[in-house]
Amino acid sequence: MTDTPLVVAPNLKRRLSGVTATVVRLIPVQARMIDIAATGPGLPPEVPHIPLRRAATLPRDRWRVWHARRNTEMALGLILRRVLRRRYRLLFTSAAQRRHTGFTRWLIRQQDALVATSPQAASYLERPATVILHGVDTDVFRPAPDRAALRRDLGLDPDAVLIGCFGRVRAQKGVDLLVNAGLALLRDRPRVQIIFTGRITADNRAFADDLQARIRAAGLSDRIRFLGELPWDQVVRHYQALDLFAAPARWEGFGLTPLEAMACGVPTVAARVGAYETLIRDGDTGSLVPRDDAPALTAALARWLDDDAARRAAGQAARAHVAQNHAIEGEARALVRVYRGLLRQP
C-alpha cells in the first residue's frame, strides 16, 4: 500500500460494530487486488490505513474512491469533495432494510454509485444499486482442530452442548427470546449451556438485568452466561467452541454472525430477517424460524440439541456451503470491480 491509495474506506467509529468488522476483515483481502486503505480511529495494525488528515489532503492528480458505509462517512466524503476539492468518487454501501430518513436519502442522492448487501436492502435505496453479499474469511473462521482443548483454554465446559449468540445485548437481537427458550430447554437437557457475547449499553442495562434475574431465579446462572464484549480474536475462538449458533433477531440489516458461525462448522438457527434466508439452507445448514416466534425458536433448537449426529452433519454442510458460496474473496473482487468502474469514469 502507498500513502496515496486509489480507494479510501473510512471507519468513523472506534468501538467494534458490524460495519467496523466488515472494514477490518475486508480491507486486507482487497489490498491484494487494489491500492486501498482504511482511515479512522481504532483500526488494528494489520489493516492498511492512513491518518484521516492524510485522506483529506491526498493530491488532486487523479480520481479516487471514497467508500462510505455510514451517514457520517457519506457526509465527510461530500465535505472532502465539495469543500476541500478532493477528487473523490463517492460510493455508499447500505445494509438497512427499512425506509431511510430524509437526510439519509439526500446523502444517498449525492453518491456516484451504490452497493447493497442484499436485494432487500437494495429495494429501499430508490436508486440502482449493485447487490454484493457479505462474505467471510474462511481462513480465519474455520473449525477448531481440537475443540475440547479450545474450550478448556477459554474456561468453557469441554463436555457441554454449547449454544452461542453474539452481538450487542438488546431486544432487537432477540436475546430475550433465546433466554426464554433456554429456560424451557435446559431443565431436561443437563449438557446444554448458552453463552452470549457483546456489549451491554447503558440504555439496555435494565433489559439485561431483568434477563439475568430470571436466569438466577431458575437456578441456571452457571449454564446461561453473559460474557460481555470480547476482543475480536476471542470472538473468533468462541465461535469455534460452539455446537450451535442462534440468531433470533427481530430485525437485521445484513447479519454476518450466522456466516461466521457456519464457516466455523457450526449450524445456525435464525429468524427470517435480514439476509438470513439467503445465507442459511433450512434443514441442511441449520433452521429458519418466523421472526419474534419464541415457540418456533425453542422447537428448532430442540431438534438440533437432541440429535448429535444431525447437528455434526449440519456443521460440516454449513462449512462447505460458506466456503463455496460466501468466501470473502468473492465479495472483495465484486467491490474492486465497482471501484475500477468508478475510477475509469472521465
If asked whether residues 273 and 189 sit together in one domain, one would say yes
pLDDT (tens digit per residue) in 224-241: 999 999 988 899 999 999
CA distances from 240 to 44, 83, 146, 244 (A): 22, 47, 10, 10
Q: Does residue 48 belong to any structural domain of this protein?
A: yes
Instruction: Check whether 1 has a pLDDT greater than 80.
Output: no
Q: Does residue 202 belong to any structural domain of this protein?
A: yes
If asked whether residues 225 and 299 sit together in one domain, one would say yes
pLDDT (tens digit per residue) in 260-293: 999 999 999 999 998 898 899 999 999 999 999 9
Write down the pLDDT at residue 344: 95
Q: Do 192 and 185 meet the contact criterion of CB atoms below 8 Å apart?
A: yes
Write down the pLDDT at residue 42: 78
Write down the pLDDT at residue 101: 93
Confidence of residue 181 (pLDDT cuts 50, 70, 90): very high
Instruction: Check whether 16 has a pLDDT greater than 70.
Output: no
If asked whether residues 114 and 209 sit together in one domain, one would say no
Helix (H, G, I), strand (E, B) or coil at 153: helix
pLDDT (tens digit per residue) in 240-256: 999 999 999 998 877 88
Confidence of residue 24 (pLDDT cuts 50, 70, 90): confident
Distance CA 283, CA 87 (A): 50
> Which residue range(s) make up the domain with 294?
147-325
Q: What is the dihedral of CA 198, 201, 205, 209, to 10 degrees?
A: 10
Q: What is the mean pLDDT of residues 89-103?
A: 92
Identify the bridge partners of residue 88 per DSSP, sorted by sequence position. Answer: 64
If asked whether residues 125 and 260 sit together in one domain, one would say no
Q: What is the CATH number of the domain that holds 333?
A: 3.40.50.2000
Instruction: Check whether 96 has a pLDDT greater than 90.
Output: no
Q: Does residue 291 belong to any structural domain of this protein?
A: yes
pLDDT (tens digit per residue) in 127-161: 999 999 999 999 999 999 999 999 999 999 999 99
pLDDT (tens digit per residue) in 206-217: 999 999 999 999
Mean pLDDT of the chain, nearest integer: 94
Per cent of the chain over pLDDT 90 is 85
Phi, psi (rounded to 5 degrees) for 84: -90, -5
Contacts of 267 (CB under 8 A, 6+ apart): 244, 245, 285, 286, 287, 304, 311, 314, 315, 317, 318
Write down the pLDDT at residue 32: 95
Write down the pLDDT at residue 193: 98
Write down the pLDDT at residue 236: 94
Distance CA 239, CA 245 (A): 8
Cell of 191: 449438557
Write down the pLDDT at residue 346: 83
Write down the pLDDT at residue 98: 85
Write down the pLDDT at residue 256: 86
End-to-end CA distance of the chain: 24
If asked whether residues 264 and 334 sit together in one domain, one would say no
For residues 30 and 126, which has the higher predicted lDDT (pLDDT)?
A: 30
- Total count of domains within the chain: 2
If asked whether residues 188 and 312 sit together in one domain, one would say yes
Write down the pLDDT at residue 212: 97
Instruction: Check whether 177 has a pLDDT greater than 70.
Output: yes
If asked whether residues 218 and 279 sit together in one domain, one would say yes
If asked whether residues 16 and 85 sit together in one domain, one would say yes
Write down the pLDDT at residue 334: 97
Write down the pLDDT at residue 2: 79
Instruction: Check whether 97 has a pLDDT greater than 90.
Output: no
If asked whether residues 19 and 94 sit together in one domain, one would say yes
Distance CA 193, CA 191 (A): 7
If asked whether residues 22 and 154 sit together in one domain, one would say no
Q: Does residue 2 belong to any structural domain of this protein?
A: no
Contacts of 141 (CB under 8 A, 6+ apart): 236, 239, 259, 260, 263, 264, 322
